[in-house]
Amino acid sequence: MKKLMSILSVVLVCIFAIGCGGQMSQEKREFTIVTSFYPMYIDVLNITKGVEGVKVVNMTKPQTGCLHDYQLTTEDMKTLESADVFVVNGAGMESFLEKAAKQNPKMKTVEASNYKDINLLKDGDEENPHVWLSVTYAIAQVKAITAGLCEADPEHKDAYRKNALDYCMKLEKLKEEMHSELDNLPHKDIVTFHEAFPYLAKEFKLNIVSVIEREPGTEPTPQELEDTIKQVRELDTKVLFTEPQYSPAAAETIARETGAKIYQLDPVVTGEANEGAINAYIDTMKKNMAVLKEALQ
C-alpha cells in the first residue's frame, strides 16, 4: 500500500510539473511589443486591438514627451529584455537605438518613419523626427509598423492588417476634416514653441515664421528673444502657440512685448497609458484643428 501511495505521489508531482510547464510555455508564447514613446504606443494599440496573445508595453512614462536627449534607464533596459519587437519613431528621435539593439540582439526594431512615402524635413543638418504630426505621414507610419509586425509575428498578420486598415480609414477621415477646416483660413503665419510642427504646417499650408525655443526646455537667448519679438510685431495676426509639455514663460514675455495672443498646440506626446489612449491621436489633433481655426480666422 505504501508503495502504491508513493507511486501515486510521483505521478501527481509529474502531472503538476507538466501543468506548470505548459503554463510557462503559454506565457512564453505571449508576443510582446514595446513602444518607445506615446505616439508609437497609440499606433500599436490600434494595430493590435483585440488580438489575443499580444502584449503592448510603452517603455517610457506616458508623461515623458519627445525623447530629445533621452537616456535609457535600468528599468527601460529590463522592459526591453522582454520585447519581441521594439517599435520606434526613428529619424533621430531615439538616439539610444544602437545601445538598445546591442543589449538585445534578438529583438526586432521597427522604425515607423522608415517608409517609402515619408520625405523627412530637415532642421539645418539634422532630420526633423516629428513625422506623426502630418496626418498623411501618421497613416504611413501605421503602414510601416503593420508591415514590421506582420513580418515579426506572422501568426497574427491578418488581425494586424484588418485593424490597421480600420485605423487608417479613421485617420483618412480626420485628414479630410482638417483640410476642410484649415486649408482656406485667411491667416497662415504662426509662431510655434519648438520644432515639432513643420510637418503639420506643410500639410495644412501654414507658415512657421519663428520658433520660440529651438531646443525644448532651453530658454531662448536674449538675441533670439529680440528677433522673435520683432518678427511677431510685423505679423497681421499676432498669435503664439505653446505646448502643454513645457513652460510658457518665454512665450508670455513675447506676448507682453507684442500684444500677441497665446494658444496651445499639443504634439501628442503625452497622455494616459490605458485603453483610452487608443483614440488619443485623433482626439488631440481635432483639438489642435479647433485651436488653429480659432486663432487664424
Domain count, the chain: 2
pLDDT for residue 289 is more than 90: yes
The reply to whether 111 and 151 lie within a common domain is yes
Task: State the CATH number of the domain containing residue 194.
Answer: 3.40.50.1980
Whether 200 and 128 share a structural domain = no
- Mean per-residue pLDDT, 147-167: 98
Question: From edge to edge, which strands make up the β-sheet containing 108-111?
Answer: 54-58, 31-35, 85-88, 108-111
Query: Which domain, by its residues, includes 124?
Result: 30-179
Q: Is residue 189 part of a domain?
A: yes
| Backbone conformation region of residue 35, classed left if phi is above 0, alpha if psi is from -120 to 50, else beta | beta
Query: Cell numbers at residue 294, please?
Result: 480659432
H helix intervals, 63-117 = 74-81, 97-103
Judge whether 43 and 21 are in contact, CB under 8 Å.
Answer: no
Grade residue 160 by pLDDT with cuts at 50, 70 and 90.
very high
CA distance 282 to 268: 9
Q: 171 with 198, same domain? A: no
Model pTM greater than 0.85?
yes
Determine, yes or no, domain membership for 287.
Answer: no
Nearest to 131 by CA among 148, 142, 118, 144: 118
Whether residue 4 lies inside any domain: the answer is no
Task: Examine residue 55 and state whether it is found in any structural domain, yes or no.
Answer: yes
Residue 223 lies in a domain: yes
- The HSE-up count of residue 267 (CA atoms within 13 Å, CB side) is 27
pLDDT digits (tens, 9 = 90+) for 176-185: 999 999 999 9
Which residue in this structure is represented by grid cell 497665446?
262
pLDDT of 14 over the 90 cut: no
Residues 236, 159, single domain; the answer is no
- Residue 267 has a pLDDT of 96
Answer whether 270's CB lies under 8 Å from 39's CB. Answer: no
Taking only the tens place, the pLDDT of each residue in 31-87 is 999 999 999 999 999 999 999 999 999 999 887 888 988 999 999 999 999 999 999
Distances (CA, A) of 227 to 92, 195, 252, 272: 28, 17, 15, 37
In this structure, the answer to whether residues 248 and 196 fall within a common structural domain is yes
